[in-house]
Structure 1
Amino acid sequence: MGVAGTTTAADAFLRYVNLSSVAGVEPIAVDHGSGAELWDVDGRRYLDCFAGISVVSTGHSHPRVVAAAREQMERFIHCGTYLYQVPVVGTLAERLAQVTPGRLEKTFFSNSGAEAVEGAMRLARAYSGKTEFIALETGFHGRTNATLAVTGNRKRKHHGGPYLGGVAFAPAPHPTRCRVCGGGCTLRCADAVEDVINYQTSGNVAAFIAEPVLGEAGIVVPHPEYFARVKEILDRHGILFIVDEVQTGFGRTGRMFGIEHYGVEPDIMTVAKGIASGFPLGGFIARPEIAESFQPGEHLSTFGGNPVACAAAVATLDVIADESLCENSARLGEWMLGHLEQLGATHPVIGEVRGKGLMIGVELVESRESMAPAAQRAVQVRAACRERGLIVGIGGFFGNVVRIQPPLVITEAQLDSAVGVLDEALRATA
């Protein structure tokens, strides 16, 4: 027997989409978007400073991205990238080889960031012949069984185990909350990676995996020398470095990739989110000798490297270059950090402002003396911002960090408006 029809599409969304695992869906029925703005079905406009969880870096429905996708759809939508030679997929892979750091060259395409990370883990095992991994406490890498195994957050793993064995966790390189270094990073957290190798593993470690800026952890920016110190340790032990650029890639941090801030060359890189301006696409990129360690039949993806998504990704790379979005992210990110720090002078609830480029976190605390997380206040601030036409996110291990990750096409005037709304929201919830 069928079900009775619903009054509106929004009603259908709330009734028939399984939302049981979602903490809370914003009460906005989205109708359309353009640039850094969204409109709901009632015509109300919102300034989007979350970009679909840091995805639509070129803005909503960028004309060049839409045109590229439309042109490819008129040719064909799907044929199986790993069955036939698809020119647009080759073009994208070549472009990625040109913009990624170091000797990264060959890309295996997937549909999402989690798939990219899981594929990278399989590749690391295939190349090294080893089985174990080291990840970071509070790090996040996806919601599949393997990616949750290397996610250092109990809240994300609840009801999902048992997970993969052979995973050890190093201290989170959080400059203000690190329990190893204390207040202010001394790089003891980096040196602790060697202790993890020696005391928590069997010495059979295939790879160390980390985000260059820890996104879900609350926009945590490691010490500028952290990854260089860790890479020295990894090289000494013959361990690969997988950098997870799913959230930090494609201009988000003010550089094309977040790891470029640290001057370190990864062995494998994972990408997704901003790669195709909202079309589902991910991938992992490696040096040729690592990439070619897969044997026939060891890995495949039916929809990975979808031609429409790849065409959108090529156009996205063009827009990032032609509109100087990396530079825009760096400039406006510095401007935004300065103005948010000024807010901290009048709002004691702001414990810390941190970030790189347009990947910014505002941590809310009960007091700066205790730095006790103010998670409920963050929820209230997000709601107050939404009521005033501003969309922000919430994150952090304790759920107390307001996340500001807008499309990279956002303007200074729009960000100035966002700062004003955030100021109002903080006052309204005081």
Structure 2
Amino acid sequence: MQQYIGPEGILSKRGQYFYPCTSYFYRNPPQLVKGEMQYLYGHDGKCYTDFFAGVSVVASGHCNPEIAERTAEQLKTLQHTCTIYLTQPNVDLAERLAGVLPGKLSRTFFVNSGSEANEGALLLARLHTKRRGFIALEQGLHGRTYLTMSVTGLKMWRSDPQLAESGEDVTFIPRPYEPGLSKDEAARRSIGALKKVLEEKGHEIAAMIAEPIQGNGGMIVPPDWYFPEVKSLLEQYGILLIADEIQTGFGRTGRMFAMDLWGVEPDIVTMAKALGSGIPVAAFASTDEIAASFNKPSASTFGGNPVSSATALAVLDYIESHSLAERAERLGDLLKSGLQELAGRYPDMISEVRGAGLMIGVELCAEDSERGAVLVDDLLEEMKDRGFIIGKNGVGRNVLAFQPPLVITEDDIREMLSALSASLSSV
């Protein structure tokens, strides 16, 4: 039997060898040693039903055998060459993506992470428009490289103290959400701010980058008309729309991409997380015309390597053959209605339930986010002890995050809701 050092041993080594910025969930964290589809296992054998999926990563399930078999086969056949050599998995993947991406997006540049994908998309926008500026939404999260951190509005992720101030290369506008305002009122406020920026310096802006649904910002879903109007306004000034689909892509919201919910065709789409279901693979995609502007030599050493590409192809096969997008829509309705029922029973704690598909947030104590953040941590601990892993996000870290593997079942959801009800009573 394998010997585990246990949570205390891991925390000791983290304290000695990790950077101090590396945090972790739970006051009494388990050591996770195994995953099977929607389940995780601790070193002591305890089983946890995962409702966070590594922040939307393992959408096809932990160690999915259909996918893992193809990953292992490629790993044993040809593990790595860069894109300067000819291999088949990455061109097959690019072709496959062209068939599922919105509209005319058919060109793909492969990288390793969401940060890299967004960095590349921002660069592409500058190359194509020959402009420097960007527009971003307040409380968005786009990465930890310099450019992506610059367009990140969520303060806790803007680690670099030397980032440009808003109004220099990056102009932030209000997101389509504001406590105390209706969804339409908040979205109109955002559109008004966008119009003002466009009138003042529209011809200096290369692109607007936005998450269709803000994940870390608290599961913020705009009204249906918002992004169609944004796209129309940007087109008047020749400004590109970059859709950051890193959390929302590949079935999570009930559609292959969240922008499909509103019939919007972005100019550039970025993707990562669920595309590899645990294997690092990411990309940014665009049209023939826009991609043609990126014509100086460039490559990503590991981007599109044979193992990640073979895995992503297996993931896309699994999403299609098991109808995961349709499943996310159906089970998302069940999860959301159950959470809304709990909101009616615990109005002193649950302020709002929001989201789409299997990407749902439950905000606690919106009027007192500090109290809400404490409650979130208490509930995460309580739910972990009951055998359920859930996440947290939000500007005040007071939003429970439900982003399970899309292979979750109705029984899993009902059992989790029962445990959450008991936990709400307990805390």
- Which bin holds the TM-score, normalised by the shorter protein? over 0.9
Q: Is residue 136 of structure 2 the alignment partner of residue 139 of structure 1?
A: no
Deviation at 1:268, TM superposition (A): 0.3
Which sections of structure 1, spanning at least 5 residues, go unmatched?
Answer: 1-5
- Following superposition, the deviation at residue 156 of structure 1 comes to 1.4
Q: Give 1:366 deviation, angstroms.
A: 6.1
Matched letter for residue 171 of structure 2: A
Matches within 5 A, 1:30-429: 30-81=32-83, 83-163=84-164, 165-174=168-177, 176-177=178-179, 182-186=181-185, 187-188=187-188, 189-199=190-200, 201=201, 203-297=203-297, 299-348=298-347, 349-365=349-365, 374-429=372-427
What CA distance in whole angstroms lies between the structure 1 residues aligned with 2:242 and 2:160?
27
Taking the aligned partners of 1:19 and 1:401, their CA distance within structure 2 comes to 26
Q: In structure 2, how many angstroms separate the alpha carbons of the residues matched to 1:267 and 1:159?
A: 29
Deviation at 1:185, TM superposition (A): 1.5
Given residue 167 of structure 1, which amino acid in structure 2 is its aligned partner?
A: V
Do the aligned partners of 2:176 and 2:183 also contact (CA within 8 Å) in 1?
A: no
Task: Give the 3 Å change call, closer, same or farther, for CA 292–366 of structure 1 in structure 2.
Answer: closer
Task: Give the AA of the match of 2:127.
Answer: A
Displacement of 1:292 = 1.7
How far does residue 371 in structure 1 lie from its aligned partner after superposition? 7.8
Distance 1:139 1:268 in 2: 17
2-side partners of 1:17 and 1:386: how far apart? 26
Aligned with 1:29 (options 19, 28, 31): 31
Query: What secondary structure sits across from 1:423 in the alignment?
Result: helix
Q: Output one character per residue of 1:7-43: Cα deviation in whole Å (capped at 9) or x when no partner.
A: 8275255344415213434412111111100001110
- The TM-score, its normalising length taken from structure 1, stands at 0.93
SS at match of 1:374: helix
1:331 to partner: Cα distance: 0.2
Are the counterparts in 2 of residues 373 and 398 from structure 1 also a CA contact under 8 Å?
A: no
Distance 1:291 1:239 in 2: 15
Equivalent pair of 2:39/2:50 in contact (CA under 8 Å): yes
Q: For 2:92 and 2:175, how far apart are their aligned partners in 1?
A: 37
| 1:99-145 CA-partner distances (Å, limit 9, x unpaired) | 01100001000000000000000000011111100000011101111
Structure 1 SS opposite 2:236: helix
Amino acid paired to 1:215: G
Q: Is residue 145–residue 163 contact of structure 1 (8 Å, CA) maintained in 2?
A: no
Total equivalences in the alignment: 415
User: Counterpart of 1:424 in 2: which secondary structure?
Assistant: helix
AA matched with 2:100:
V
Helix, strand or coil: the match of 1:203? helix
Native 8 Å contact 2:35 2:41 kept in 1: yes
Task: Look up the SS of the partner of 2:41 in the other structure.
Answer: strand
1:214-242 CA distances to partner (integer Å, 9 max, x unpaired)? 00101100111000111111011110000
Q: Is the 8 A contact 1:140 1:217 kept in 2?
A: yes
**Which whole-Å CA distance do the structure 2 matches of 1:366 and 1:321 have between them?**
38
Q: 3-state SS of the aligned residue for 1:243?
A: strand
In structure 2, C-alpha distance between the alignment counterparts of 1:84 and 1:9, rounded to whole Å: 43
Q: CA distance change for structure 1 residues 177 and 146 in 2, over 3 Å: closer, same or farther?
A: same
After superposition, the Cα gap between the structure-2 partners of 1:403 and 1:88, relative to the gap in structure 1 and judged at 3 Å, is same
Alpha-carbon displacement from aligned partner over 1:376-409 (angstroms, at most 9, x marks no partner): 1111111111111110111001110000000000
**How far does the alpha carbon of each residue in 1:253-305 deviate from its partner, in whole angstroms, 9 at most, with x for none?**
010000001111100000000001110010000001111211222x3211111
Judging changes above 3 Å, is the alpha-carbon distance between structure 1 residues 269 and 404 closer, same or farther for their aligned structure 2 residues? same
Query: Secondary structure of 1:420's partner?
Result: helix
**1:28 aligns to what SS in structure 2?**
coil
* Cα shift at 1:421: 1.3
Q: The residue matched to 1:185 in structure 2 has which SS?
A: helix
The corresponding residue for 1:8 is 5
Equivalent-residue separation in structure 2 for 1:427 and 1:58 (angstroms)? 32
Checking the alignment, whether the CA contact within 8 Å between 2:130 and 2:206 is kept in structure 1 is: yes
- Where do 4+ consecutive residues of structure 1 move more than 4 Å? 370-373
Distance in 2 of aligned mates of 1:99 and 1:356: 20
- Listed one character per residue, the Cα deviations across residues 158-213 of structure 1 (whole Å, up to 9, x for unaligned) are 44423484100111111x527xxx334234122321112234x4731000110110
